[in-house]
Amino acid sequence: MMIAEVQFGLLITAYGVYLAGMITPGPSILSIVHTALEDGYWAGISKSAGVMCASASWGICASLGLMTLLDQYPDILHLMFVIGGGYLLWLGYKAGYAAYWNDFPTASLSCIRKTPDFFRAFRQGVAVHATNPKAMAVWTTVALSGVTAETSSYQIWLILGGCFLLGTMVLLMYVSIFAHPTIRGAVQKRFRLLYGLSSTIYIVLAGKLLLEPLSMIG
């Protein structure tokens, strides 16, 4: 009975849209990569868990139609852009400072920092994704491409659960790659270049977010 309610074409489209948006590097991916490189696998997993909690919240809001409230109250969306842009500026400053003033830790690659703060990494993951308009845009697109007036609640939960699983797999892939000792060893030799590049990307993304309200007003 439930299988008969599933619109498989729309379901696959929704998964494809979410996977494309999730696998494309953005502020959340960049932040996870930094944590995996600096603090290792489990810290990267903690930040990924925070990102996925925020992503699930965006997904639930999209499925409930709460995104339409942002169209009716654009000031809320403007505030989100400002908060997100400010947070990315802070991350850009931290990455730039590390690139030009700090030395990359020379401790064992199995644990560059002896006692990483996993809960702090989790909170940072929630913050960077909850204030990321790209996440909102991805989930809005998923809802538009995978949900119609005839879509059953069962299919909506399939979309939410499948996207959550896909997102978790993508983040685990990034953490596994960049927490690997070989990758971390290569970064140790070129960390100033990589952190400088990361700082530039953060600042460019922040500028786009901070300028977006002006273009929306115009």
Q: What is the pLDDT along the chain (218 residues), one digit of tens a residue?
A: 456 566 788 888 889 989 988 887 788 888 898 899 888 899 999 999 999 999 999 888 887 776 566 667 677 767 777 877 787 788 788 778 777 776 554 443 444 445 678 999 999 999 889 888 778 778 878 887 777 767 777 888 889 999 999 999 999 999 999 999 888 877 767 777 777 887 887 788 788 777 876 665 55
DSSP state, residue 7: -
pLDDT at 10: 83
Distance CA 76, CA 69 (A): 9
* pLDDT at res. 114: 52
Local structure of residue 4 (DSSP, 8 states): G
pTM: 0.76
What pLDDT is stored for residue 107 in this prediction? 40
The DSSP element (H or E) to which 127 belongs, if any, is helix 118-130
